[in-house]
Chains A and B, each alone.
Chain A
Amino acid sequence: MPNDKNSQKIVDMITGFARSNSLFMLAYGTGCGDIEIPPAMTSRYDWERFGYRKMATPRQADVLLISGYLATKTLKRVIRSYEQMQEPKYVIGFGSCTINGGMYWDSYNTINMLDHYIPVDVYINGCMPRPEAVMSGLFELQEMIKRGDANGAQKYRENLEWYRANQKKIIKNWKMPDYNW
């Protein structure tokens, strides 16, 4: 195929359509926000209608949903999970704790701004967000993927030093494996 702009556009459109309609989400409940996931997942709101599924391991997942506050101990596990995920990968920050710390903003053991540690594509605010808000966040992510705006993984690769410096500020004893895909 000749590598011209229009054919690339069509390929992007098709891959965007395919990716946005089969998203596997990592089932890793980090905070209290995970209690809003069962209603969104099961028959009342049923996100599987829109192509979302829960997936058990990071290596098979496309979306990492950070549900609520992140203790520094959990952040370590989240970074490892995120780096193990294969591209394309997206992150949804869920609840006000991931945005500005929420009610744990002055705690000694929870981080305040998630997007300083891993790149976040979509934020859902609220404490807690209702399942309607969760669904709207998921639709927003699908639209972003179709438009080609959800490029958090690329941002992470390009600004790796900045992210690493922030992560190492919290995780002092850095003994993490290197995942270079």
Chain B
Amino acid sequence: MTDISLEKEQKIADELERTFPNLTARVRRARRVMASLEKELIPSVLVHAKDNLGFHHLSHMSVVDWIEDEHFEMVYTLWNHEKRVQLTIKTMISRDNATMANIDTIWRQANTYQREMREMFGIEFPGFVGEKDFLLEDWDEMPPMRRDFDTMEYANKTYFSRPGREDAQDVRDTISKRNGEEVPDFAKKYSREK
């Protein structure tokens, strides 16, 4: 734990760069290695990391929506139990017609993550078998976690809203005036009547 030489991390990064020429790997800090590459190579890198480098555990898998740059970023987080190193693998995929290789044959738990990504971001995984509905039921709009989905507009359109909360006023002053009470000291800094 007190080893700060970054030797084992550098070894993993070098090994990855040597095996895959298009891959860029860097050591972020102790026990953290990050690698990025194009999306076609992802399954082979994952298999290589799992079988040859000892990253047996898929800790997490997620997607980031970079709407300004018009792409999604897929993030795979692996963990090596023997060396105690975390490897983060990133790749960019295009935002329209987003497809990604199915990896639930490598790790079974990826199935759940991929179902969630398909539902929340609309990313398709060719050849992937999984129940269509995951958290939402009967959803026929744009996938809701995409950043161009307007949540407020959808909520206003779909649900009823009770009148009286449009102005978002602090009602403490009104209540204290009505009851003839003093606003307590701790609440004065929130008051709108300075």
Contacts and interface: CB of A to CB of B under 8 A. Distances in A.
Contacts of A173: 137-138
Interface string A98-129: 01110001111111110010000000000000
A72 interface: yes
Nearest to A100: B162
A73 B155 contact: no
Nearest to A170: B158
B152 A106 contact: yes
Contacts of A169: 158
A157 interface: no
Interface in B162-194: 162, 164-165
B136 interface: yes
Contacts of A105: 155, 161, 165
A76 interface: yes
B161 A112 contact: yes
A66 B96 CA distance: 41
B22 interface: no
A113 B136 contact: no
A100 to B, nearest CB: 4
B92 to A, nearest CB: 27
Contacts of B160: 112-113, 116, 166
Given A108-B154, A113-B159, A113-B160, A100 B165 contact: yes
B140 interface: yes
A144 interface: no
Nearest to A117: B160
A166 B159 CA distance: 9
A44 interface: no
A7 to B, nearest CB: 42
Nearest to A109: B136
B165 A172 contact: no
A106 B155 CA distance: 5
Contact of A108 (B137, B151, B165): B151
B155 to A, nearest CB: 5
B54 interface: no
B144 interface: yes
A173 B158 CA distance: 15
Contact of A112 (B135, B138, B151, B155): B155
5 contacts: A100-B161, A100-B162, A100-B165, A112-B162, A170-B159
Counting from the closest, the 4 A-B pairs by CB-CB distance are A100-B162, A173-B138, A112-B159, A172-B138
